[in-house]
Amino acid sequence: MKKLAVVAFGGNALLQAGQEGTIGEQEKNAYEASKNLLNLLNRNYNIVITHGNGPQVGNILLSEQAGFKVHGMPEMPLDVCVAYSQGFIGYMIEQQLRNVLEANDLDRDIICIITQVLVNKDDPAFENPTKPIGPYLSKEEADKGAKETGSVYKEDKKRGGWRKVVASPRPLVISNKKSIEQLARSGQIVIAVGGGGIPAYYVEPNKLEGIDAVIDKDLASSLLAKQIGAEKLFILTDVPKVCLNFDTPQEESIDKMTIAEARKYLQEGQFTEGSMAPKIRAAVDFVENTGKDAIITKTTLLGVDDGGTRIVIV
């Protein structure tokens, strides 16, 4: 029987630092990222792909704001912008992955599922927005945006710039998880929970409604992996392995990390909140609840022996 893996593409799989963000660039990046999935297919894995959307949903919001200023067009709420990004990013991944499969004489259906994720409207995250979206701005641009729209911006001192931050509530339930699992275990490649999923809550019994937030993609991917019984969770980023003392002369890469060690390093502040910390928490959550391994690595090392950092139960 084939194993089931959830593969969480990082934002750099589609849009890399220094790029303009054109569709051509994103399609090329999606093609290169998709080629690395062949390692897992050749290792007898069925695959569910998740992906980030931070830069893309931020650009959608900028376009919405410009359309409102120039033409008076009504702005879309954030949950609709997330749905919008799921559609076009899923389309790009599906198309480029199909190109990769056909170039390697492989035949799989690729199915993109627009995915809602249930959250708690009283989650404390709504009182303290922390999830960065959109481009990096100067302080002057951030101050102007805050004044004009009431948005909250925070400085990323490491990368040099200010980004809009929004609430990031904890995901509770992945919609259509049974169908996602059935399709994937039958051999189809499924793209789901894009951008962490479309945040929704029950405004009253039996009535779902979207809410203004962005769910952390890695935490939602971990939840999906648990709820569909995946044998492995791969969280992809832009470094080969998790490092202690990152970007210092004492930097040390880690081959294997227990969940106890991971919690210790998190408490010590080894991992930044805007980058590696959410990935570590997501990996720990999956491993602790399933007893199975999670791997954090860069896209090019997906499925490679000894590639990445393996998070284990003990």
**Domain regions of the chain by residue span:** 3-119+175-312
Q: For residues 292 and 24, what is the distance between their CA atoms, to the nearest angstrom?
A: 37
> For the chain, how far is it from start to end, CA to CA, in angstroms?
26
Query: Quick check: 73 and 138 in contact, CB under 8 A?
Result: no
Q: Average per-residue pLDDT in the chain?
A: 91
What is residue 96's predicted lDDT score, i.e. its pLDDT?
97
**Which residues participate in catalysis according to the annotation?**
11-12, 131, 217, 279
Stretch 5-9: mean pLDDT? 97
* Residue 291 predicted with pLDDT over 80: yes
Among 239, 212, 200, 194, which Cα is nearest to 53's? 194
Question: How do residues 172-224 score in pLDDT, each as one tens digit?
Answer: 999 999 999 999 999 999 999 999 999 999 999 999 999 989 999 999 999 99
The CA-atom distances, in angstroms, between 34 and each of 31, 241, 300 are 5, 20, 10
Query: Quick check: 295 and 237 in contact, CB under 8 A?
Result: no
68-71: long-range contacts at Cβ-Cβ below 8 A with a sequence spacing of 24 or more? none
Query: Quick check: 170 and 123 in contact, CB under 8 A?
Result: yes
What is residue 136's predicted lDDT score, i.e. its pLDDT?
79
pLDDT band at 273 (very low <50, low <70, confident <90, very high): confident
Class of CATH domain 3-119+175-312: alpha beta
pLDDT band at 139 (very low <50, low <70, confident <90, very high): very high
Question: How do residues 22-55 score in pLDDT, each as one tens digit?
Answer: 899 999 999 999 999 999 999 999 999 999 987 7
Question: Higher-confidence residue: 191 or 59?
Answer: 191
Query: Quick check: 225 and 6 in contact, CB under 8 A?
Result: yes
Phi, psi at residue 236, to the nearest 5°? Answer: -100, 140
